[in-house]
Amino acid sequence: MSLTDKKNILFTRSLSSEHIMYAEKLGLEVTAKPFIQIDLMPLSKEKTDLINSKPESNWIFTSQNAVKSISENLSSLIALEEKKVFAVGEKTAEELFKIGIVALLPEQHNSQSLLELLEKQSASSYIHFSGNLRQNSISDFMAEKEFNFEEIECYQTNLHQPDVTITDFDAICFCSPSAVYSFFSKYKINETIPCFAIGSTTAVKLLDFSEHVVMSENTNVYSLLEICHNYLNS
C-alpha cells in the first residue's frame, strides 16, 4: 500500500495526458500499464462482399476498435443511409459520429441493454462488427430469434502482461473484460485491494476473481478516476 498521502492506482490500459492531469488534480498517483494489445484488421474483399450482399442488415458495434477498423473501408460499403446502426458505449458512438454515422444507444452501456433495445426493433437482419474475444450474448440472442446474422471479425485483442509490483498500489482499475482476464492470468491480489470497473460487463468479469469490486457511474475514464478518489478517501 502507499506510504504517502497520494493514493497509487494501477490502470490496466493506456491513459492520455488529459487523464493523467485529471488524476493529479484529484490527488491520485496513476501508473498506466496496458494488459491488452489491439491489432486492427483491414476488411478483406471477401468480408466487404459479404457485407455488401446484405444491404438490408443493420449494424452493431460494441467497441470503438471495430469502428476504427472499418473506417478506412467505408467508401467500399454500400447502402449506409438505409440502415440503423447500434452502438454500445458513448466512445463507440462518438467514433461512429466521426465517420458520419449516427448510432442508436441503449439506455445502459452494456450488451444486455442492447439486446433489450433490439427486442423492440422490427428488423431481423444484423451484422456485428466484433473482435476475436467477443462474448456470445449477441450471437446467442440472434440464434434464439432466428434472425439473419453475421459476425465480422475486424480486430484482435492480444493479451499483454507487463511486470508490476502489485503491493505498490492501493487500487487497480479495469476497462474491459479482456484486461481483467489478462491481469488475473498472471497476478493474484490481496482481497483488501479494491478493483474498479468502468462498466457492468467488466464488473461482472471481475467478480470471478475478486469480491472487492466497485463500478464507475459512467463508462469513461474520468468517472472511473472520480470513483477511485471518492472511494479511497471516504
Give 148-167 pLDDT, tens digit per residue. Answer: 999 999 999 999 999 999 99
CATH number of 7-35+161-232: 3.40.50.10090
Phi, psi (degrees; rounded to nearest 5) at 153: -80, 120
Q: Three-class SS of residue 165?
A: coil
Q: Which pLDDT belongs to residue 89?
A: 83
- Tell me yes or no: is domain 39-158 CATH 3.40.50.10090: yes
- Could you give the CA distance from residue 46 to residue 133 in angstroms, rounded to a whole number? 21
199 pLDDT band, cuts 50/70/90, is: confident
Is the pLDDT score of 3 beyond 60? no
- Could you give the CA distance from residue 108 to residue 224 in angstroms, rounded to a whole number? 16
- Which tens digit of pLDDT belongs to each residue from 99-117? 999 999 998 878 889 999 9
2 pLDDT band, cuts 50/70/90, is: very low
**Higher-confidence residue: 191 or 169?**
169
Q: 39-158: same fold as 7-35+161-232?
A: yes
Q: Which pLDDT belongs to residue 25?
A: 95
201 pLDDT band, cuts 50/70/90, is: confident
- Region 87-98 average pLDDT: 91
Q: Which pLDDT belongs to residue 112?
A: 86
Q: Give, in order, the Cα–Cα distances in Å from 72 to each of 44, 46, 141, 156, 229.
A: 12, 16, 30, 17, 39
Burial of 193 (0-12, 13-18, 19+ CB in 10 A): middle
205 pLDDT band, cuts 50/70/90, is: very high
**Where exactly are the structural domains of the chain?**
7-35+161-232, 39-158
- Region 31-56 average pLDDT: 95
User: Is-above-0.85 flag for pTM?
Assistant: no
Residues with Cβ within 8 Å of 85's Cβ and at least 6 positions away in sequence, in order, are 58, 59, 60, 61, 96, 101, 102, 103, 104
135 pLDDT band, cuts 50/70/90, is: confident
